[in-house]
Structure 1
Amino acid sequence: MLNALEVVTTVSFGLMVGVEFSVAFVMNPIFNALPEDSGQLGRAHGGRMLGAVMPVWYLTSLALVAVWAVAGRHHTGAGLVAIAGALLILSVIMSLLLLVPINNRNKTWTPENRPADWREQTDRWNRYHYVRVAVLVAAFTLLVAALT
């Protein structure tokens, strides 16, 4: 049973990390290269779509990691799972305090109503997101290492 939990947790968490990685290193560069207001409109749409899905995915991943940490506490790699869980909690806190407020504003912006500093706010979100991705990649790496 623990093996199934480890696989489900690793795959679910890995897919989430992949989505966040692709936002940072695939989608945002695409949005930046689009002409005129298309990039900002794409970011707003992505913020609405992922803003609805990612909280559920983060909380599900956190629950799965917590269950793994408790169920596997007497197994090899338990410490790595606990550290991964702590990093995931850090990423959730970062999201709530730093990224979500910007995203909540961004997802309502149109070329007609966006603030004058919208690019600065988008750049700030990107910087925070890069740090969050690094934290998530570290957590995922620890989960994978705990499997060996």
Structure 2
Amino acid sequence: MLNALEVFTTVVVGLMVGVEFAVAFVMNRIFDALPGDADQLARSHGGRMLGALMPVWYIGSLVLSAVWAAAAWSDPGTGLVVIAAALLVVSVIMSILLLVPINNRGKTWTPENRPDDWKEQMNRWDRYHYARVAVIVAAFTLLVAALV
């Protein structure tokens, strides 16, 4: 049963990392290249869609990692899982304090009501997101190392 939990947790976190990596390095670059207001409209839609999904994914990943650490407390590699869980806590805190406030504003914007500095706000979100991606990549790497 523990093996199944380990693999499931690693897959869930790995998929989350993949989605967030794609947002950072693929989707946002595609959105930036769209003509007219399409960039802002795409980001607003993405903010609504992923803004509803990602909190569950982040918290779920953290809970799964914590359960893994507790279930395997005396096993070798558990320290790596604990550090990975701590990094996932950091990613949740970063999300709540830095990214969610910007996302909550951005997901309501339309070409008619967006602020003049909307691009600067999206660039700030992107920078915070790059840092968060680095944190969750590190967490995923530790989970993989603990798995093997």
Distance in 2 (alpha carbons) for counterparts of 1:6 and 1:142 = 12
Distance in 1 (alpha carbons) for counterparts of 2:17 and 2:5 = 18
Distance in 1 (alpha carbons) for counterparts of 2:69 and 2:81 = 6
What SS is found at the alignment partner of 1:110? coil
* TM-aligned CA deviation for residue 116 of structure 1: 0.6
Partner of 2:29: 29
Alignment deviations for residues 12-34 of structure 1 (CA, whole Å, 9 cap, x no partner): 11001110000000100000000
Unaligned runs of 5+ in 2: none
TM-score (norm 1): 0.99
Partner of 1:109: 109
* TM-aligned CA deviation for residue 135 of structure 1: 0.3
Please report the RMSD computed on the Cα atoms of aligned residues, expressed in angstroms.
0.4
Distance in 2 (alpha carbons) for counterparts of 1:72 and 1:18 = 26
Partner of 1:55: 55
Partner of 1:136: 136
Q: Which runs of 4+ in 1 moved over 3 A?
A: none
Distance in 2 (alpha carbons) for counterparts of 1:39 and 1:117 = 14
* TM-aligned CA deviation for residue 76 of structure 1: 1.1
Alignment deviations for residues 41-89 of structure 1 (CA, whole Å, 9 cap, x no partner): 0000000000000001111111100000100111111000000000000
Partner amino acid, structure 2, of 1:90: V
* TM-aligned CA deviation for residue 105 of structure 1: 0.2
Q: Does 1:85 align with 2:78?
A: no
Partner amino acid, structure 1, of 2:71: A
Identity, % of aligned positions? 75
Distance in 1 (alpha carbons) for counterparts of 2:58 and 2:34 = 29
Partner of 1:46: 46
Partner of 2:76: 76
Partner of 2:14: 14
Partner amino acid, structure 2, of 1:43: R
Partner amino acid, structure 2, of 1:44: S
When the two structures are aligned, how many residues end up with a matched partner? 148
Partner amino acid, structure 2, of 1:82: V
Distance in 2 (alpha carbons) for counterparts of 1:57 and 1:126 = 19
What SS is found at the alignment partner of 1:112? coil
